[in-house]
Copies of this chain bind each other. A is one copy, B any other.
Amino acid sequence: MVLRYVSHVERHRKPVIALLQVAALCLLTSCSRRPPLPSWNNGPAKTAILSFVEGVTREGGREFVPRRQRIAVFDGDGTLWSEQPMPPQLAFVFDRIKELGPRHPEWKQTEPFKSVLEGDIRGALARSEDSMDELLAAVSAGMTAEEFDGAVTGWLATARHPLLNRRYTDLVFQPMADLIAYLQESGFETIVVSRCAVDFIRPMAARTYRIAPMRVVGGGLNLAYEVRGERPALFVVPTPDPVGAKAGKPESIQRSIGQKPILAVGNSDRDREMIEWVTSGAGSRLGMIVHHTDEVREWAYDRGSSIGRLNEALSEAEAKKWLIIDMKRDWKVVHPFQQ
């Protein structure tokens, strides 16, 4: 009888364990669930996000998307953190130029170095957003990838935003942190896409949104593997990667992720192609534009701004019914310290 019972247990061991595991999993997830998007006001944007995520995660439903295809891509500057009056990597570059200036007498004659060294940030800005990859290469040539990462990490720990006197890592958007947490809990991979500053964005995204380095994709420093005196490392080449710098966001995403995401969030014309691509084709898809409309808690800018211009992408968003997030209307708080 005992033996029969044992063999009975043995025979049923696997299903019993499976059942216990399901119960354990339910316990694990349900206990920690809070209502999603707490820092979002109730309204059309929040409703649209909740309805999209509920649709793609409802098994058996018409909108269901299997877990392996739930990829969400986010622009960085202006989408995950403030980018006015200049994105953080540009502030980093300007600080590095001032630091390295004494060792580069030729910079006194070359723009935008000259303007930075003379303290004319407005003049430097006018010439630098488009040449970010050249600037990053110039201020990091000869460093190893690890040294560059260390320099960024050190800078993030001490540098302060010139107008708000806050650390750059404090200037993230609480509603985006809530959105990313909600998506991750719903089985999404959340990916940050940068045009040319991936090596800067990685330490930034790790410290602010706990996004692992491999989930930050795009162009970056031009690196070459070399063994210098028994020490193998990746060294920054003084000239930017000619192909990487040209590549658009859809190209970078396909190269790194190998599949088309189903959700894309951006805030400027530089994100237009990415959102256009991600929202095209079959199945449930969502494109979102963060519209900076809050001149009190952050900044208000769009079609006319030199940093983060939102012109064509705003028109396309209106025409194609992408979800436009009105920062002033839709966000209960902007930065975490405003909570």
Residues of B within 8 A of A276 (CB): 227, 232
List A residues at the B interface (Cβ < 8 Å).
Answer: 17, 20-21, 23-25, 27-28, 31-32, 68, 71, 145-146, 189, 191, 198-199, 202, 212-214, 216-217, 220, 223-225, 227, 231-234, 241-244, 248, 250-251, 254-260, 273, 276-277, 280
CB contact between A24 and one of B24, B145, B256 (< 8 Å): that residue: B24
A259→B145 CA distance, assembly (Å) = 9
27 example contacts (A-B, Cβ-Cβ < 8 A) are as follows: A21-B27, A21-B31, A24-B25, A28-B28, A68-B212, A146-B260, A191-B214, A198-B258, A213-B257, A213-B258, A213-B259, A214-B259, A216-B258, A220-B255, A223-B254, A225-B277, A232-B250, A232-B276, A232-B277, A233-B277, A234-B250, A234-B254, A234-B277, A242-B242, A242-B243, A243-B243, A243-B244
Once the chains bind, are A21 and B17 in contact (CB under 8 Å)? no
- Chain B residues with CB under 8 Å of A17's CB are 31-32
* Central interface residue in A191, A198, A216, A233, by most chain B CB within 10 Å: A233
Query: Which of A17, A27, A32 has the largest number of chain B CB atoms within 10 A?
Result: A27
B residues near A23, Cβ cutoff 8 Å: 24
A contact patch SS? helix
How far, in Å, is A28 (CB) from chain B's closest CB?
Answer: 5
A145–B28 touching, CB < 8 Å: no
Q: Quick one: which of B21, B225, B251, B259 contacts A32, CB cutoff 8 A?
A: B21
Select from chain B the residue with minimum beta-carbon distance to A276. B232
Closest to A217 in B: B256
Contact B255 A223 (CB under 8 A): yes
**Shortest Cβ distance from A288 into chain B, in angstroms?**
17
Residues of chain B lying within 8 A (CB to CB) of residue A189: 214
A217 neighbours in B (Cβ, 8 Å) = 256
- Considering the chains assembled together, what is the distance between the CA atoms of A243 and B239 in angstroms? 13
| Chain B min CB distance to A249 (Å) | 8
Contacts of A28 in B (CB 8 A): 21, 24-25, 28
Seed contacts A17-B31, A225-B251, A234-B250; 19 additional CB < 8 Å A-B pairs: A20-B27, A21-B27, A23-B24, A71-B214, A145-B254, A198-B255, A202-B258, A213-B258, A214-B256, A214-B258, A214-B259, A217-B256, A223-B254, A225-B250, A225-B273, A225-B277, A233-B277, A242-B243, A243-B244
